[in-house]
């Protein structure tokens, strides 16, 4: 079981309020991702749940039992850190065994669990090595192994893939997702990478300056962002946000159109501009188009190969039902 | 790094370095030579260097006149005891200051160090009174406690610097893995800081071994360590250079040998974290 509830949880560092009182419920077995730009308080929120930081106010419950004043060791949660935080003086086997040793588990049971975890994570051949002799990906696997052996009620991941190179990151992302499907244990995952959030999460919590901007499934956030911040943060490449006259035509202060919801036409486009950079990926082509009515270039995603290049004039028509409208406060208009 | 150095320059610098090294070593060499001379040769002018009648008479005289084994045992107990006691107190203190620093942690550290600048004689009188009140003058226990207190700031400072090198996330990982404070310090912090702790112990044993002010003033016979043993040969009726030298060599030999063997560890510990 691993149902975690936060009630009016607040965190201050001295006079500075990094997290204003917030409420959040994480259901048992859910994969929840905290996402937001750096400094938005997502890591602090995770550390509050872990017990590595003390809350300044409010209540944390794990499976209904109050956990606000429990030390980290007593919360039954496991954590994977960005820096792996392996014990450098212990072998991989001892690293993985450490939480079991702390729980005074009988040695045979320890051995059995280590074997199982090592097999699942492809670490069997490395059990007697020190962390210093492993690659980044292997170290992160050891960190995950150390987390899973004690069968915690929830896993906490603090940007676990940030130190890995791009190719490895995609692989580990899949491994973690698969692990979640297999274990069906609650996972809370912190990242600044919205692609990780979109691909892994059951539920995404978008944070800005300690506030929860929106909570929802990846597709809810994609289709109905509640405000301009979420609209701009979720989706890659970023949503084009336009204000002024083009927005007024739709009875809104701002409108947002995702790059993939913009059609390229021969002539008579709603927007007409000159192509700045054209990125040809084969499967898609991204155009960065300079428009008179916008300061920033508009990004357009065209499927397949399109024979336009730098300096060409391009005509664009947004898909009418895919236009997001926002009022002067930046809130969504339905 | 490859750099062109002319052979002449190399010879010059080597000679200079050796000359400087010998200059520092000279007093110990002279003491060593004197300890094998007869008293009359020891004070002869001009001094005699190597060609005299070598004698071990001074050593047998010193052994006969005083209780060397007792002094040696006292020195060992005081130096090792005060170091162990200091480490036991300093590890948690340095842990707290390195990993959960408060607003005043820096001030506390500096204040602790500032006590080392206080003239020791300033607290002599109150300390003697306290020791007398508890009836612990001339006891090993008193010296263990006093020397521990004298060197505690240095132990805490050294451990603090070593602990600072250890990433806090690793200790947090231990907490998440279910380790309480005791397990965290015992299984994670201490093994990781072992090179640093080892050199702190070594340095502190040397400091405590060489401590002369308190050991001479707070002891008479029973707890008198080797420092007092040397001092007892500079008697008011006149100095006996040769016997004094023999006593000195006997007093410094154990720590010299220890230093020789632990040199590598000491240098490693003192430069720990300097190059990463």
Q: Mind listing the pLDDT tens digit for each residue in B112-125?
A: 888 888 888 888 88
CATH fold, domain B66-232, is MetI-like fold (1.10.3720)
Choose the closest CB to A72 out of B169, B175, B183.
B175
Crossing angle between the packed helical segments B68-99 and B241-270, to the nearest 10 degrees = 30
Which residue in A49, A81, A85 has the most chain B C-beta atoms within 10 A of its own C-beta, making it the best mutation to test that interface? A85
Cα A243 from Cα A235, distance rounded (Å): 19
Chain-centroid distance, C-alpha B182: 29
Contact state of B170 with A50 under an 8 Å Cβ cutoff: no
Q: Angle A135-A141-A144 (CA atoms, 0-180°, nearest 5)?
A: 145
- A70: contact with B, CB 8 A cutoff: no
Name, in order, each residue with C-beta under 8 angstroms of A126's C-beta and a sequence gap of 6 or more.
A92, A134, A138, A142
pLDDT at residue B270 in the model: 61
> For residue A186, what are its two tokens?
């609650």
Tens-place pLDDT, residues A300-315: 999 888 888 888 899 9
Percentage of residues in chain A with pLDDT exceeding 90? 71
Contacts of B169 in chain A (CB under 8 A): 81-83, 85
Beta bridge pairs of residue A35: A191, A206
Cα A94 from Cα A114, distance rounded (Å): 9
Tens-place pLDDT, residues A223-251: 999 999 999 999 889 999 998 888 888 99
Tens-place pLDDT, residues B239-267: 778 888 888 898 888 888 888 888 777 67
- pLDDT higher than 60, residue B163: yes
Chain-centroid distance, C-alpha A206: 9
- Mean of the pLDDT values across residues B213-219? 84
Nearest CA in chain A to B103: A14
pLDDT band, very low/low/confident/very high, at B275 (cuts 50, 70, 90): very low
pLDDT band, very low/low/confident/very high, at B238 (cuts 50, 70, 90): low
| CATH code, A4-230 | 3.40.50.300
Contact state of A81 with B169 under an 8 Å Cβ cutoff: yes
Tens-place pLDDT, residues B4-51: 778 888 899 999 999 999 999 999 899 999 889 888 787 777 887 777
Tens-place pLDDT, residues A67-84: 999 999 899 999 999 888
Report the largest interatomic distance among the alpha carbons of chain B, rounded to a whole angstrom: 74
> For residue B148, what are its two tokens?
């521990």
pLDDT at residue A292 in the model: 82
Contact state of B173 with A150 under an 8 Å Cβ cutoff: no
- pLDDT higher than 50, residue B97: yes
Which residues of chain B from 187 to 216 reach within 8 Å of chain A, CB to CB? 187-188, 191-192, 194
Percentage of residues in chain B with pLDDT exceeding 90? 30
- pLDDT higher than 60, residue B276: no
Contacts of A83 in chain B (CB under 8 A): 167, 169
Is the bond into B226 cis (omega within 30 degrees of 0)? Answer: no
Indicate the domain borders of chain A: 4-230, 240-333
**Quick check: B197 and B159 in contact, CB under 8 A?**
yes
The model carries a pTM of 0.79
> For residue B172, what are its two tokens?
């947090």
- pLDDT higher than 90, residue A108: yes
Q: How far is residue B40 from each of residues A199, B62, B160, measured CA to CA in Å?
A: 93, 17, 52
Tens-place pLDDT, residues A175-205: 999 999 999 999 999 999 989 999 999 999 9
Which residue in B177, B192, B195, B273 has the most chain A C-beta atoms within 10 A of its own C-beta, making it the best mutation to test that interface? B177
- pLDDT higher than 90, residue B177: yes
Nearest CA in chain A to B190: A89
Contact state of A88 with B179 under an 8 Å Cβ cutoff: no
Whether complex ipTM tops 0.90: no
- pLDDT higher than 90, residue B86: yes
Tens-place pLDDT, residues A29-62: 999 999 999 889 999 999 999 999 999 999 999 9
| Mean pLDDT of all residues belonging to chain A | 92
Sign (positive/negative) of CA torsion A213, A214, A220, A224? negative
- Mean of the pLDDT values across residues A128-148? 91
> For residue A91, what are its two tokens?
């072998």
pLDDT at residue B237 in the model: 63
Q: Angle A80-A81-A85 (CA atoms, 0-180°, nearest 5)?
A: 105
pLDDT at residue B243 in the model: 85
- A79: contact with B, CB 8 A cutoff: yes
pLDDT band, very low/low/confident/very high, at B273 (cuts 50, 70, 90): very low
Superfamily of domain A240-333: Nucleic acid-binding proteins (2.40.50.140)
Is the bond into A260 cis (omega within 30 degrees of 0)? Answer: no
Choose the closest CB to B178 out of A86, A88, A99.
A99
Indicate the domain borders of chain B: 7-57, 66-232
**Alpha-helix runs per DSSP H in A201-302:** 218-223, 228-233, 245-248
- pLDDT higher than 80, residue B2: no
Nearest CA in chain B to A71: B175
């Amino acid at each position: 079981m691993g149902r975690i509830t936060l009630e009016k949880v607040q965190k201050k560092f001295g006079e500075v309020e990094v997290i204003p009182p917030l409420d959040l419920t994480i259901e048992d077995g859910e994969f929840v991702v905290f996402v937001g730009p750096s400094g938005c308080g997502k890591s602090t929120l995770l550390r509050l749940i872990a017990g590595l930081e003390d809350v300044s106010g409010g209540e944390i419950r794990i499976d209904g039992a109050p956990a606000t004043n429990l030390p980290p060791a007593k919360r039954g949660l496991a954590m994977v850190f960005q820096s792996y935080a392996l014990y450098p003086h212990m072998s991989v086997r001892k690293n993985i065994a450490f939480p079991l040793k702390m729980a005074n588990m009988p040695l045979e049971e320890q051995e059995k669990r280590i074997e199982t975890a090592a097999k699942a994570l492809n670490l069997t051949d490395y059990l007697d090595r020190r962390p210093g002799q492993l690659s980044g990906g292997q170290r992160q696997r050891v960190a995950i192994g150390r987390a899973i052996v004690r069968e915690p009620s929830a896993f906490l991941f603090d940007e676990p893939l940030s130190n890995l190179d791009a190719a490895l990151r995609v692989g580990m992302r899949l491994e973690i997702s698969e692990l979640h499907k297999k274990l069906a244990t609650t996972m809370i995952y912190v990242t600044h990478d919205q692609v990780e959030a979109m691909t892994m999460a059951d539920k995404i919590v978008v944070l800005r300056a300690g506030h929860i901007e929106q909570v929802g499934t990846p597709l809810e956030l994609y289709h109905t962002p509640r405000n301009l911040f979420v609209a701009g943060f979720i989706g890659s490449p970023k949503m084009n946000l336009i204000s002024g006259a083009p927005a007024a035509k739709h009875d809104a202060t701002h409108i947002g159109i995702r790059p993939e919801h913009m059609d390229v036409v021969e002539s008579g486009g709603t927007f007409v501009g000159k192509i700045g950079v054209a990125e040809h990926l084969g499967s898609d082509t991204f155009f960065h188009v300079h428009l008179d009515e916008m300061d920033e270039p508009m990004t357009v995603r065209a499927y397949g190969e399109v024979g336009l290049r730098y300096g060409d004039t391009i005509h664009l028509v947004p898909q009418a039902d895919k236009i997001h409208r926002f009022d002067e406060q930046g809130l969504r208009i339905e | 790094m490859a750099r062109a150095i002319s052979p002449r320059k190399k010879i010059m610098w080597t000679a200079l370095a050796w000359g400087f090294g010998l200059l520092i070593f000279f007093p110990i060499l002279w003491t060593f030579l004197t300890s094998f001379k007869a008293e009359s040769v020891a004070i002869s002018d001009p001094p005699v260097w190597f060609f005299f009648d070598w004698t071990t008479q001074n050593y047998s005289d010193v052994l006969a006149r005083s209780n060397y084994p007792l002094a040696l045992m006292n020195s060992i107990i005081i130096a090792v005891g005060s170091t162990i006691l200091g480490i036991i107190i300093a590890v948690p203190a340095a842990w707290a200051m390195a990993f959960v620093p408060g607003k005043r942690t820096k001030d506390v550290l500096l204040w602790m160090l500032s006590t080392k600048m206080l003239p020791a004689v300033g607290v002599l009188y109150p300390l003697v009174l306290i020791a007398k009140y508890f009836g612990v003058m001339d006891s090993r226990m008193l010296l263990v406690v006093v020397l521990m207190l004298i060197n505690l700031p240095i132990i805490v400072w050294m451990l603090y610097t070593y602990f600072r090198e250890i990433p806090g996330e690793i200790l947090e990982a231990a907490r998440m893995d279910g380790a309480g404070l005791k397990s965290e310090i015992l299984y994670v912090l201490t093994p990781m800081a072992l090179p640093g702790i080892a050199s702190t112990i070594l340095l502190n044993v040397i400091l405590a071994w060489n401590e002369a002010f308190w050991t001479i003033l707070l002891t008479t016979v029973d707890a008198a360590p080797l420092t007092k043993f040397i001092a007892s040969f500079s008697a008011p009726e006149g100095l006996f250079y040769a016997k004094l030298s023999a006593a000195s060599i006997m007093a410094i030999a154990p720590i010299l040998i220890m230093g020789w063997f632990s040199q590598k560890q000491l240098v490693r510990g003192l430069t720990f974290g300097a190059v990463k």
